[in-house]
Amino acid sequence: MAGAAVTISILTLAAVHTLGIQVDIPTAIILSVLSAICACGASGVAGGSLLLIPLACSLFGISADVAMQVVGVGFIIGVLQDSCETALNSSTDVLFTAAAEFKEWRKEGKKININKAV
């Protein structure tokens, strides 16, 4: 889901920057939270992250026409976008799996040494 959240945020912020809209820190945080929540429903749906861009663009008052142009750009760069999104999803899966494994080891009283291969 991390890849979809990043895709939604980055493409929306690219549209915002292109239109010359200033973004303050609280609004950027709201966008990040909104993107993360929306990504939960978009995971596994082909093009799901791109189809949530109009929702994120509405946070900045960007019209649906312009938001759909951003979606069109997303489809044009789809191969690169999808590859990066998949790589980010895979890396976060590994991160959370390792965190869960370390938690189990800690419960069992095993020593955790991340400086060398186990």
Q: Where are the alpha helices (DSSP H) in 43-77?
A: 48-51, 53-58, 64-76
Q: Which two tokens stand for residue 53?
A: 């861009």
Q: What is the rounded average pLDDT for all residues in the chain?
A: 89
Count of Cβ atoms closer than 10 Å to residue 48 Cβ: 16
Q: pTM for the full model?
A: 0.77
Mind listing the pLDDT tens digit for each residue in 58-73? Answer: 999 999 999 999 999 9
User: In the numeric block, which tokens belong to residue 28?
Assistant: 């950027």
Residue 42: its pLDDT value, please? 76
pLDDT band at 49 (very low <50, low <70, confident <90, very high): confident
Query: Do residues 21 and 60 touch, judged by C-beta distance below 8 A?
Result: yes
Q: Give the Cα separation of 74 and 81 in Å (integer).
A: 7
Tokens 């020593």 belong to 111
